[in-house]
Chains A and B, each alone.
Chain A
């Protein structure tokens, strides 16, 4: 494998005032051109992990340990000027709500021009590039879009504008934080197809955050499963989805209704709710909900370990006899 594009090591994110750990010792790499999915429920730390990569953690939350190495720099310990030059340029991000990324009182064309100029200075062909970017993402009338304000567009079209903006400077890595969650399924499919196409065309790396396993199944190469602030399983999407090793991943997959299940049997459910990451201490965070858990799980923290197909943080992997 070639050297990774970005390497996250032992990333830990905590609240500033009472030092509650929200993301705990998360490590992963993304290779050039690789698409990685991060799957987790609310509170699993998936969004904070993604925001750390851009130094965009919200107020009151900070990265307290670890490193994020990119292009010979540690993004956690670099000056804001360097971060700014990388953001939007080398690493771009798209969000669930495009309105948070678009300025409501500025014409769309001007907003995209601004992105180009803030990284490259005055550019004679900026307008041309913006119009091309609009048509690349399937906006029907780029000239009209150029003169429009965000509110004149539907949710799906705004998402396209945000993608055009993110891809404008040909980033090496695109971070996507549930950009299709608020969209209708037929529109979601259009956006997924668009992103897939652009990624292939540009050989761009991608980090896709979602709670919807169905969305990443056909979108990414590798998937990271997070639970209560930690990575519990990593592997190729095929291995994780068809042969999950962590009981949480297995339970989550089993709990989803399947199209192939014509008899509509009872859904397999996981009892209880995910714990707060800072309350679990040195134990397996899933042990309270796990049918395979024993005393070891409740007192010792399982680390990721290699096995037949994936890496999973569990003492009693699904593939092992109990």
Chain B
């Protein structure tokens, strides 16, 4: 089983201005089963759009997303393919990801009923099992989401995703909204579940420290494109693209106390995706840009085994 994202492009039209936004620009990813791909990037890089494509919430403008050689979005029926529940999404905000008028037990039993995954009589036992699996006391099945803490709600969201027995979980900033002291527990839970259930993860975050902790492979995105991707070692130990280097340098690090003079690694701001710069979208902020960067579109190329970058200036 493999997730294959092939040359996916997503364009949106802004209704008020008529401007076209290229949220994704020819993204290709191949992820074998039981691997974790970390996708890191800043706002506007397209990482959340990619999550919506992989889970079939939206259809790519061009290109295909397949799991197990089967298209996620059934173009003929203009709806999600029936095999679809094998891919689930865990959202960032634990306060909006659960129906406020549904007890958490009901939310889980609904999934089990719709997909007919267990006998009707076995549903209560399965709910207990799912809640236990994510570290929540089954006694809480009768609670409403607002009676739970943020960390508990995030666990319930994970349990709901697991209820459909998925193969692939897309985790879109799953710990960013949680309190710092609660994040570690949820990260540990995700790692345990991955091992116990043999799951494949796509872990999306702006926080490189979390990506670093959980990923096997890493893709760095900037303005709708992957600018660097490869194995954990390649990207983090030997970053080649100037943007990846800047991102790593900008990561606040509590273990580096007393290096007190800050130097911002990158000048300028992320350009508006509706007014994309020509050539390499990063050239306006790039410390090593040359004039031709404003003209040449950079495609990913292999610089060493399983290490791709999109930059002409890196040899």
Real binding pair: yes
Binding site for B on A (CB under 8 A): 41-42, 154, 156-157, 184-190, 192-193, 196, 211-215, 217-219, 237-238, 241-242, 248, 251-253, 255-260, 264, 266-271, 273-274
Given A186-B247, A256-B209, A269-B185, 14 other A-B residues pairs in contact with their CB atoms under 8 A: A154-B269, A184-B42, A185-B208, A186-B250, A190-B264, A192-B264, A214-B209, A214-B251, A252-B180, A255-B180, A257-B213, A259-B212, A259-B253, A264-B212
Residues in A whose Cβ lies below 8 Å from that of B252: 185, 188, 212-215, 217
From A193, A196, A217, A270, contact of B256 by CB (8 A) = A217
Binding site for A on B (CB under 8 A): 42-43, 149, 151, 179-185, 187-188, 191, 206, 208-210, 212-214, 246-247, 249-267, 269-270
Q: Which residue of chain A has its CB nearest to the CB of B189?
A: A269
Q: Is the CB of A213 within 8 A of B263?
A: no
Q: Which residue of chain A has its CB nearest to the CB of B209?
A: A257
Q: Is the CB of A190 within 8 A of B267?
A: yes
Q: Is the CB of A241 within 8 A of B254?
A: yes
From B149, B151, B253, contact of A217 by CB (8 A) = B253
Q: Is the CB of B258 within 8 A of A237?
A: yes
**Do A255 and B251 contact each other (CB < 8 Å), given the known contacts A189-B265, A193-B262?**
no
Residues in B whose Cβ lies below 8 Å from that of A270: 181-182, 184-185
**B133 CB, min distance to chain A CBs, angstroms:** 17
- In the assembly, what is the distance between CA of A217 and CA of B256, in Å? 7
Q: Is the CB of B261 within 8 A of A188?
A: no
- In the assembly, what is the distance between CA of A196 and CA of B213, in Å? 30
Residues in B whose Cβ lies below 8 Å from that of A260: 255
Residues in A whose Cβ lies below 8 Å from that of B212: 257, 259, 264
Q: Is the CB of A185 within 8 A of B247?
A: yes
- In the assembly, what is the distance between CA of A37 and CA of B253, in Å? 15
Q: Is the CB of B179 within 8 A of A274?
A: yes
Q: Is the CB of B179 within 8 A of A273?
A: yes
Q: Is the CB of A269 within 8 A of B257?
A: no
**A200 CB, min distance to chain B CBs, angstroms:** 9
Q: Which residue of chain A has its CB nearest to the CB of B232?
A: A264
Residues in B whose Cβ lies below 8 Å from that of A269: 181, 184-185, 188
**B186 CB, min distance to chain A CBs, angstroms:** 9
Q: Is the CB of A196 within 8 A of B257?
A: no
From B43, B184, B253, contact of A255 by CB (8 A) = B184
From A185, A212, A242, A251, contact of B250 by CB (8 A) = A185
Q: Which residue of chain A has its CB nearest to the CB of B43?
A: A184
From A188, A215, A259, A267, contact of B188 by CB (8 A) = A267
Q: Is the CB of B183 within 8 A of A258?
A: no
Q: Is the CB of B269 within 8 A of A156?
A: yes
Q: Which residue of chain B has its CB nearest to the CB of A42?
A: B179
Q: Is the CB of B254 within 8 A of A189?
A: no
**Do A217 and B262 contact each other (CB < 8 Å), given the known contacts A257-B212, A267-B213, A273-B151?**
no
Q: Is the CB of B209 within 8 A of A259?
A: yes
Residues in A whose Cβ lies below 8 Å from that of B43: 184
- In the assembly, what is the distance between CA of A273 and CA of B149, in Å? 8
From A185, A196, A255, A259, contact of B255 by CB (8 A) = A259
- In the assembly, what is the distance between CA of A187 and CA of B249, in Å? 12
From B179, B191, B260, B270, contact of A196 by CB (8 A) = B260
- In the assembly, what is the distance between CA of A269 and CA of B267, in Å? 36
- In the assembly, what is the distance between CA of A214 and CA of B209, in Å? 11
Please name the 9 residue pairs, one residue from A and one from B, whose CB atoms are nearest each other, closest first: A214-B252, A255-B184, A184-B42, A267-B184, A193-B262, A269-B184, A257-B213, A190-B264, A269-B185
